[in-house]
Structure 1
């Protein structure tokens, strides 16, 4: 371990209270490794004093670096910027709220340094402390991802992950704008060892993830790594076409055999509304993929840095 360098990438957004706590806890672990290290804070356009706290730490510790965005570009962009700046032989991504236990770093480093694994990832074994509804939808998301996509995303997997330089370079080579890192980590492959731990409460501050953001994030993940929703839309269209033929035959037979009038406009309205809803749903699926293509063709940068050290 003495001959290697470890980079710690830490995305931050309005985390002025958590930054100094995180630094103190992680520093305790890093000094025990007796290896060269750097801590890279990515300020994702914070509106509080997060950047000031980070700059203060960088003045005291030459191993602390930072990139400050011109605005909030999101955690995915922050992780990409951190990986791009990291100079270490091994790079670990961590949340600043200490829900990713720093105590796992030595074990993770040993796993990747051994040469047996290229990556040491983590997963939570429970969701204690989370709202039940959020936990339920999180589990549903992982089930949907495993069903719809061709990549294997482990249930409870976190962004807390240590990677070798080879794997980091592979992740950076995936230059798509609509990033979903959990999927990218799985897509690039490499041998991965998982470490499990129980859910840990935040050290300070409040979570920036609400239900709406989590839903949109999961939708991005499914669209980014699967085309099965498009197949689902096609199958749904064929199914309703087949059902419409059955209803036409049913109405003709009923008229010929029983002379029943074709009445029942309320039920007809319900059917029209239902089918219209299905059509809009399928159109929405197509729209999501079209939107991804539209954004990719713009070739806009993932982030804009206004300050860096």
Structure 2
């Protein structure tokens, strides 16, 4: 088994890849690590894949996975995790803003200090203070409050993991922002943090967009729900469905009593429609909500991605058999 698997998701980063691989090789050779670099091309439209092909031919340690189209960072990480064979898995972005010089300490914190997961903290950032830094602080503050995991920068791409962690979680949608939450949910409680260097972007442009924060908040709610009720959805949907139905039921009883004893009119009162609505909502919530959640969670094609090419593995064998 290799010491380290370095998973690098990338999208249109052709200029930075040669420098990144050279830097990784230099650091790993200096410390005597056996390693592999798994570069996952998430449907790049530039020459990134051709660069990966050249690097794979030049370096025995470089492997490549190419998506047929852009699926997102979560999909890239998930495929990289499945392919990784190292004892410690380290993830980093391809834009050279993450420094490979952090690899030795990230590796040591897993193998010596015994952490299950170590997340980088870009304490000093070179991003725009208004459009990225401030929203990021607010975003991480909400994450800490909701998840209970005290990390300053949960979305940092520079992380290290025990092999068992990445083989025990599934990253889909845009859940890469919440891998520490997924790991904690899977039972890995020893989560650490390391201040890492954040370097100015040298090539290309940022893939940052404001929609990340809206999607991120929704994903956080989703993952919190799944972690608490994924195995027992009836505890949530049944509770609130029952509450809504009983509220409508008791209002109905009150209206019937009023009709019988006080000669009231049922259909011309707002309470009648309130009772009808809450009973219908309660029934639908009870029967439909948790079924839809279970269907989405167990969908067979949730993590199926069209991979056009692979580099660095025996093409006659699936990746799992090469491990």
Q: Same fold (TM over 0.5)?
A: yes
Q: In structure 2, what is the Cα distance between the partners aligned to 1:89 and 1:66?
A: 19
Which residue is equivalent to 2:295?
290
State the partner residue of 2:315: none
Give the one of 74, 79, 83 matched to 1:85. 83
Structure 1 partner of 2:167:
172
Say which of 39, 42, 46 aligns to 1:48: 46
Q: Alpha-carbon deviation of 1:108?
A: 1.3
Deviation at 1:10, TM superposition (A): 0.4
Write the distance in 1 (CA, Å) between the matches of 2:42 and 2:98: 19
Instruction: Give the Å deviation of 1:23.
Output: 4.0
> 1:11: Cα distance to partner?
1.2
Question: What is the CA–CA distance in structure 2 between the aligned matches of 1:154 and 1:279, rounded to whole Å?
Answer: 40
Distance 2:52 2:101 in 1: 22
Q: Which residue in 1 is equivalent to 2:105?
A: 107
Task: Give the Å deviation of 1:185.
Answer: 2.7
* 8 Å CA contact retained: 1:16, 1:50: yes
Change (3 A) 1:244 1:213: closer
Indicate yes or no: 2:243 matched with 1:239: yes
* Aligned 1:31-180 pairs, distance under 5 A: 32-98=30-96, 100-114=98-112, 116-123=114-121, 129-130=131-132, 139-140=141-142, 143-145=145-147, 156-158=153-155, 160-163=158-161, 167-169=162-164, 171-172=166-167
CA distance in 1, matches of 2:142, 2:280: 27
User: How far did residue 43 of structure 1 move?
Assistant: 1.2
Residues 12/274 of structure 1: CA separation in 2 closer, same or farther (3 Å cut): farther
Distance 1:97 1:280, change over 3 A: farther
- TM-score, with structure 2 as normaliser: 0.68
How much does 1:247 deviate?
A: 2.0
Kept in 1: contact 2:241–2:284 (CA 8 A): no
Segments of 5+ residues of structure 1 without an aligned counterpart are 147-151
CA distance in 2, matches of 1:301, 1:13: 19
Q: Which SS does the other structure have where 1:91 is aligned?
A: strand
- TM-superposed deviation, 1:51: 0.6
Q: CA distance change for structure 1 residues 122 and 299 in 2, over 3 Å: closer, same or farther?
A: closer
Partner of 1:226: helix, strand, or coil? helix
TM-score normalised by length of structure 1? 0.70
The alignment yields a C-alpha RMSD, in angstroms, of 4.3
d(CA) in 1 for partners of 2:88, 2:26: 18
| 2:167 partner SS | helix
Counterparts of 1:213-232 in structure 2, within 5 Å, are: 214=216, 217-218=219-220, 221-222=223-224, 224-227=226-229, 230-232=234-236
229-238 or 128-137, larger mean C-alpha shift: 128-137
> Deviation of residue 96 (structure 1)?
1.9
Corresponding residue of 2:321: none
Residues 125-134 or 89-98, more deviating: 125-134
Unaligned runs of 5+ in 2: 313-323
